[in-house]
Each structure stands twice: as C-alpha cells, then as structure tokens.
A and B are shown apart, each in its own frame.
Chain A
Amino acid sequence: MSFLNATLMFGLVAAAIPLVLHLISKREPKSMPFPAVRFLTSSYQSNRSRLQVRRWWLLAMRMLAIAAVAVTLARPAIARNLSTTWLSIGIVAALAVALLVMAAVTYSTGQSKKLSLGLLASSIAAFVVSLGWGGVTAARGPTLNLDAQAPAAIAIVIDNSPTSAWEQDTQSLLQRHKTIAIELLSRLAPSSRVAIIDRGPEPASFSIDLSGAIAKVESLATRDIATPMASRLDAALRLVRTSELENRQVFVVTDLAESTWAKEPGALQGSILGAESPVAVTVIDPIEFRGLNRRLGVPRVSDQTPPRQTPTPVAMVVSVDSVGETDSPTDALLPKETSVTVEMMIFETDPSLPVIRNGELVLPKTQSVDRTSARLSPGQSSEIVLRIPPLDEGTHHGLIRLVGDDAFPTDNERYFTVSVQRSTSILIVGDVPDETLLIAKVVAAPFAWDDPNAEFKIDRISDQDVLATRLEEYAAVVLLNPPADLLAESVLTEYVTRGGGVFACLGPAIMEPPGGESTAINSQLVPTLVRKWRVPDPGTYFQTTRASHPVLSPLEIVTGGVPWNQFPVTQYWQLDVAEGDTVLMSYASTNHVALVERHLNPGKEGGTAFGHCIVMSTPLPALAGSAKTWNQLFGSDPWPAFALVRQVIGYVSGRDSDPTTTTVGKPNIVSLDLTDDAMDGTETERLQRRLQLFSPNREQAVPIDLDASSDKVLVAEVLYRGAYWLRGDGVASGFSANLPEDSAITRRVDPSKLDEWFGTGNYSLVHNASEIDFTRGGQTQSILLQSPAMLFALVVFLLEQVLSNRFYQSSVSKPTRSTRKGMSPA
C-alpha cells in the first residue's frame, strides 16, 4: 500500500484530538449539590459500565472518523495484483471489529464476564492478525510509483487527421486536442521526456524540453493526408520504451472517427502486450461529432483535356448529413430540408501569378462561372452537374465549393484542373473508307469528325498513301487492318522512334504463310506473329491484364465491370511478345495477347517520353470484308470498344497522358506543355531552365530544375488539397488534388473498437484531461482506494452521529406524569 499524498498522513495526528478533548473534559466535572443522589447511586454501577462502553465507542468512532478522513486525503493505493490479499485483510479486520462489538454488548448488558473477555481476546487476536498480515503485505509488496510529479516518458499522439477540422461550438476539434495536450504537458514534472506525435510522416522523437513540446503542439495544423494511426501509435510505443524512465505512457488525443479507427490495427496489440515493459495507454476522446454537415464529393470532369471553346461538364455528389445524436436539442432546431448551393470558380489566367509576395502565396483571382442549388434533407445525397465554360488553350485551375459554412469545412471545397490543348492531328490509315470514317467519328465524338473545334484533327488515307504523307505532322497514326508490308515500312518505325504514336489493329490483311510457319514481318512496331487462331462459336473475348494502365484505368471504374464477354472474338493473331512489351489485354482463358504496348528505343538518350505502338491482335472495327468474321467488337451497343478506341488513341497521341486532377497523397506526374520558344535556344540555356511549384498551404515555392530532355515533372509530395501551380519560363501547368472521399468519415467508431486495437483492459478511455491518472505507467498497476476510504469515513461519521445522538438526547423532556393524579377540580 502506498499513498499519493503521503505527507497528509500526518493528519492521523489529528485523530488524537477527540482523545485529548475527552481527557480535558473528563478532568473537571461540574460539582453540584443534589439531595436526590440516592436515585443515582442505586443504578450507578450498571449504568456506568454501559455508559463507559458507549463513551469509549464514541471516542473510537471520532478518532476513526478523523483518521479515515486523513487517510482519504492521503489517497491510498494498492497494487492491483495484491487486491485479493488486501480484501482478505480487510475482512479479518472487519471480523475483529464485529467481535469487539459483541464483547462490548455482552459487557454492557452485564452478561457472563468470561464470555465478554473471550470475545475481546478473539477480537484482539483478529486485529493482530490483520495488522501483521497487512504489514507483511505492505513490506513485501511492490513499490508503487504514485508520484504524479515523478518524471515520466510520455508520448502524446495528437490526431490531426482531416476529421480534426470539425468545428463545434466555435472551436475545431484540433484546437480542443491541442488544449488537452497542453494541459497534460503543464501537469508533467519538468524533467519528463515528452514526444509530440501527430499524424504526419515525420519520425517520432522526444522534444528537447516541455516548452519545445508545447511549441510543437501549438504549431500543429490539420493534415490532409494522415499516416495510419497504427503506425503512429507503434512509433510512439517504441519511442517511450526506449526511455530509461520507469513511468512510460502514451496518450492518444483523438476524435474516434471511423476514417482513423475503423481500420485494422495490425500488429499494434503485440507491441503493447508483447514487450517486457508495458506502457500505459490512455485514449482521450474529448467530444462527439454533432451538427449538420454538407458534403461535396470528388468532382468527375468528363474530359480533363477538353478542346478549345467547348464547355465541359463536371459531375459530383452533394450530400447532407446530420452527424451525432439525433435526439439532442440542437437537432430539433435543424431544418428538415436544407438548400445547398454549389458554386464553380475558375482561377483567372495571369502569367505573373501565383507568386510569393511578402511571404504569402498570392493566387490569381477567382471568377464564379457556374452555380446550382439543390434542396436536401439530412441523410440525402444528390448528383449535380456544373459546366466549365469554354476556355482558351492552357492549364486552368478551378474550385467547386458549397456556399455557406457548416461544421466540417474540409469537405466543402473540391478542386479540379483542366488542360485545354490545341487539337491534335491524327492519321487514320485504312483501305475501307467506312471503317476509317467510323473510327474517325468515334475519336471525334461528340463533334463531327471534321469539326475544327474537335479535340482531334483527323485525316483519313488509304494504305498506299502512307509513304506519300508527312507523318511528322501527326501525333498519332491509326492503322486499321494494315498489310504486312506497310508495317514493315521504315517510315513508320522512324516515326515512332522520333516520338510518334501508332495504334495498329492487325487483321486479315496480313497473309498467313502456308505450312504453319511464323509470319515474318520485318517490323519493330509489332511483336512477332505466331499464327492465326480461329475460336469456335461462341468465340473468346477480351480480358484486362493490366488494369492500372492509363488506357484501361477509366474502364475499370465502370460499375459491374466491362461486359467484354458480350463482344466475342472468333479470330485473332497470336503474338509472341518480346521483353519490354506491356501486355494490356489478353483473350479469356488463354495467355494469347489481345492488346500490347511496345516502346521503341526505351531509355535512349534524346528519346521522347512517348513513342510507342499499341497493337491489337484482332481488327477494328471489323465491319467490312473478311475482317467481318474476326470479331463483333463493334456489334450492337459497342460502347466498350468505343471507349477503348478513344482511350488508346488519346494515349498514343499523348493527349490523355496524365491525370490533372488527383487525390492527396499520390505522387503526380505533370506533362509540360513546352512551347516552341522553350524548346528553342541552346542546350545550355535549356539546362538552366528552372520551374517553380506553388503548393497550397506552403509559404514558399519549390524550385524544380529540369534537364533539357524532360517534359514531365514528378511531384512526389502531394500533401494538401488544392491547386498546384507549376510555373517557369514558358511553362504554365499544374494539377489539383482532392481529399479521397473516405479520408474524412465523421462517424465515430464504438469505443469498444479500441479493445481490438489495444486489447481489453490494456488502456483507459477518458473524456477530459482531469480524469487522467499519471501514475498508471509504472511497472505495477495500482488501484486507488480514495473512494472506498471516503465511503468508510462517511459510514464511521454517521455511526458516530447515531451513537452521540443516543448519548446526548435533547434535554427538553416530556412532562412527567401528572402529579394531580386522583384529584378532581375544586
């Protein structure tokens, strides 16, 4: 047994006060003449013994009450593992008291003296046993580290994930978390080791001193991208365990949001239980989410590289959630239906902006371009569509925001970037005009194929005209059912080597040599053709092999998947893929390649970023002649083939190379739209080219040095949501980043979920800093006996009251029996 405030045990001395008062008051009785003494002496002996017993009990009660209060104030604690022993000691002591009471009763009622002496002796024996046992237990038991002022190794994990931006009662959760952390720090002994760990990726380390820790807490801001809580907790536990201090604790100040805690904790439990030196974990959960939140989903821009002067629709989901308890009084005030206004803003194009001026990021002005409203009840969501207005060539950043404030401002703004490019020239080569026209229409949709505003400027020629055409003028060449000799043309190979893109759909135009030999095509563009396969009815179909490829990734998000099995392929060329080729699609239940990408001169100095050929081993659109029997990709409702063709052509022409709107946390590649001026100049000048990256929430622009050959920039740290601007001489590009929709789920997990994380009983959950027990982190867990001691003191005090009230009855007596007995009124 130990005491938190051992010095207050001196209060036990006060227990002597009743004894002293008793002795003092006993010394001088009032002397009084009284003739009727004979009535007192007759019952003097029996009464005196009874009164004496009562008086001793009263004295004992008063001393015990004061002693109990002193012990309560000293805050006794016992080791948790010895609680059963202490309980047994308490029972023996209670038995001793009971025996003493019985002895007193027998003595005062004048029963057998032997009996009362026997009871007294048993009581004393029981007292001696309990005292001895208690003494031995206290002496042999573990020492409890109860000193709250003892130095401790403490890690405070502050949850500054996106949900911590939730605002309630004019204060954000993060501010509350920080207040709690600072209160915790202020209660620590000055020599404690403290680590402040947030949800960032920085390695965990102890602060130099408490003021450093406080400064770190104060500098914390909400992070858009949060490192998983499990890894931060793991880091915190490992860190405090490295300390030599005995009292090791980890405090987690969190909002218990689902986005943080619903995940699996991994090996965290092991790191709490498995190690030899346990660490006390305290989870502080200050407040529950409550309020009305309007949420804006991630915008889906229908075309991130729209053609000039063409409006582009952007779709997104707007929803309204009532978060927290529904029966709270504030909810009654919530309107049943809320009007939600969504506004689209576009940053104006200003070549001199953004810029860092006086340490602040100055962005171009925004211009409101579209706005729409919806009426939603809590729990409802609605899909809305806004339109990006026709824009000039270049990269344009925009944001979509909900008008008005709510409890969670983080999900009220979404960003997007579109890159309006000049129309790209492509060449479609094919002997069947209907087929080339169909592909041209597919590529140019929704415009007419020869519309000047369309994304692509399309030329259609036949196979024999290829040699007479300047292929350099085109960004991509589409070969529909090319003959073998066309594929072997060096013009095409050179074209690809210089950076052109080719999409070749092999078909019946390539003749299969008799005798089953491999079809020899002297071409670097296509893999070696092994043989032609005929698949009996119902044929085979496409199967995606590399879903993450830019060509296929948009198809992957289609709900339910693409029903390729409804578009059978009955004939195809078996291709022998070489090393370095990327197989994008294959035929079902075979390893035969359906769609393959080949890079020419990969890694060659001076080569361009693209310069690749995508080969499909069955013809498109296979509508005419012998090709008709090869597949039904353009059969009824051929939207998969339609989308695939657009994707492939967009990809090979370099138009859809990189996404311009991404999510926070993912590295992003920005293709530089190099102007001719930028490409000019000497090599030295180009080497000196430097770009600046302006990130949101940053007060400095990040310089990026580019070598002459790069036309892509990898931005690895996309930490905050917002628009990223890439500026330099001749370059004005960038992208936008949004929070993933599942990164900020303001629903709370059930507190029992923490059992999965830490194991039942391995942690304590409190709701404010005052409930925290700093003494838990030692080797031995302790049980504070303050409350039972307080209860005991109260019971003793009540018993004292009962006893003393019986003792000193009110002196106002009822009138004695009438002395007029037997008299009649005169």
Chain B
Amino acid sequence: MVNSLSPESLQQIKRLDLRARMVVRGFLQGLHASPHQGFSVQFSEHRRYNRGDDPKLIDWLVYAKTDKYYIKRFESETNLTGYLVMDLSGSMGFTHRQTMTKFEYATCLAASLTYLMTMQQDPVGLMTFTEKLQAILPARSRRGQLGDVLAGLSKLKPDGTANIGKCITQIASMLRHHSLVMIFSDLLTDPNEVIASLAQLRHGGHDVILFHVMDEAEVHFPYTGNVRFEDPETGTAVSVDAAGFREDYLAQVEAFREAYRDGCNRLRIDYVPLDTSMPFDTALTEYLIQRQNRF
C-alpha cells in the first residue's frame, strides 16, 4: 500500500483526479476496519423512546402513525468547511532529483484531500497566494465541486515570491465560518511572522493544518564539492564547500522546523513536516486525525 502511495509511483499517473482517487482508495483500503467510516454522513434512524431521553427528540409524526414514541437520531448536517491554501512562490517549483517538485507534491496531496472531503460531503474551497492572495474558489459541497477544485489545482504554476504572513492574515480576516484551513507551503520566510499570522487565523476560530513541504535535498543536503547555490525567489547566491557546510546546514534546517513545531504546538495547530520523498498517507492520516478530534 505504501508503495502505491509513494510519490514516485503516483508520478506516473498524469491525471490529477485519477491520482487523487488512487491515493484515497489505496488509503481507505488500508482503513477497512476503521471506526471513522460513518461520521459526517447525513443519516437518521428511529428507535424506541427510553426513559431519560430528551422528549424534544421524539418524532411526533411517527407517534401519530404508530401511537408509539420513537426518537430520531443524527439528523444534523456536517458543517466542516475545508480550505486548501497553496503557496505559489517560485521556491515551490524546486526539485533536486527532477521527479516531483514541492508544488507537485503539495498539489497531489491537496487533490487527495479534496477527494476525501468530497466523499464526506464536506465543502472544499481553494486559495492560492504569492505576494497576495490569488484565485479563490469558494467552498461548496455540490457535486461538481471536486472537478472544479482539481481543475483549479492542475492549472496552477509556482512563480515569483510569496508573502506568507500577510496572505494568512488576509485569509483570517476573510473567512466567516469556522473552517479547516490546510496550508501547503515550504514556509521559507521568517517563522515568527508566519506564526503570528497563524495565531490570527486560530483566533478566528479556524482549525489549521500546516503542511510544511520541503524538497528531499533541502532536508538531507546531499551536495559535495564547491557549489554555488542560488535562491530562485530572491536571486541570492552563495558559493560554499557543500560537504563542509552540510553539518551546519542540517542543524539550521532542524532549528527552522523546530521553530515552526514549537509555534504550532502553542497555537494547537497541526504541523506536518514533509519532504518530497515521503508517502502521501502521512498527510492523509494527519487530516483524519484532525477530523476525529473535531467530532
């Protein structure tokens, strides 16, 4: 199952909807005994009234027909509105092994989550940002929404620089209802700024999952020799002896992730550090845990 969910194998499937379906089906097959199967589905049932049940729940229409007290269960509707927030900065288009960019990885993950959420009848919306918040697809739960989201995702191309903090703040001010905001970004900016804006989002009553997507090379730094590294966003270049710098680099990356992990923990935000070599089930599991915590 893990193999079928690995980025390498999914990369061979070109159509995003198929890819997403593949991920979710494969994932759900693994969860066949899961107790999560029923939640959020609109469902009702009747049972005999027992003492102690709330009399308000008695279905009087049934009483009229049968002259017996029955009560109705699970009549409420799901109300989890999900927003996929995609970072469209140029750095997201980076790949070291030329297999799957960070953005492709994030897109694939987002598509899978969309598929899963639409299966649960949850409304899903899509937002992207660079310097400012861009394309917005409102959250709906209608039948064509899955196709709209996937089409929107497949059209996106990462380019330019991003201002994550500002955009998240914008999102926080924009969303009215309690929503689940899933952010896909490499977060290559000042962690404090991002965490501050994430705090605003949380104060708005939204649940947040932060998918921190990094490239495999960014995490493991497999370079040797004298290398000139160029930032595609800022154009900053630095020539270093890669092997000599590796130790320091890895420490820096770890500190960077730790800063986000600490900040997110404080804000009760789910922080999911990912790199492009990791299977998708990690991300999906994270989503489901989030849902479970809500209900």
Contacts and interface: CB of A to CB of B under 8 A. Distances in A.
Nearest to A26: B226
A807 B94 contact: no
Given A44-B240, A813-B220, A35 B231 contact: yes
Given A42-B252, A51-B241, A809-B246, A36 B236 contact: no
Contacts of A752: none
Given A37-B229, A38-B188, A813-B220, A823 B286 contact: yes
A811 B282 contact: no
A114 interface: no
Given A32-B228, A826-B30, A826-B34, A39 B241 contact: no
A643 B142 CA distance: 154
Interface residues of B, number: 57
B229 A819 contact: no
Contacts of A43: 245, 248, 252
B238 A37 contact: yes
B129 to A, nearest CB: 17
Interface string B220-254: 11111111111111101111110111101110111
Contacts of B229: 32-34, 37, 40
Contact of B243 (A34, A35, A38, A807): A807
Contact of B256 (A33, A37, A39, A821): A39
B232 to A, nearest CB: 5
Nearest to B31: A826
A41 interface: yes
Contacts of A33: 94, 229-232
Interface stretch (B8-16, B52-60, B270-278): B270-278
A819 B246 CA distance: 19
A47 B240 CA distance: 9
Interface in A10-39: 25-26, 29-39
A824 B281 CA distance: 12
Interface residues of A, number: 36
B215 to A, nearest CB: 8
A809 to B, nearest CB: 6
A604 interface: no
B186 interface: yes
B288 interface: yes
Contacts of B236: 37-38, 41
B197 to A, nearest CB: 19
Contacts of B179: none
A35 B245 contact: no
A24 to B, nearest CB: 11
A820 interface: yes
B188 A35 contact: yes
B249 A819 contact: no
A470 interface: no
B35 to A, nearest CB: 11
B99 interface: no
B244 A51 contact: yes
Contact of A32 (B90, B230, B233, B285): B230
B91 interface: yes
Given A51-B244, A820-B282, A37 B226 contact: no
Contacts of A813: 220-222, 246, 250
A100 B288 CA distance: 61
Given A31-B228, A33-B94, A823-B286, A817 B254 contact: yes
B224 A808 contact: yes
B226 A816 contact: no
Interface in B206-229: 214-215, 217-229
A747 interface: no
A821 B240 CA distance: 32
The 3 A-B pairs at the shortest CB distance, nearest first, are namely A35-B91, A39-B252, A34-B229
6 contacts: A29-B225, A34-B217, A35-B215, A37-B229, A47-B244, A817-B254
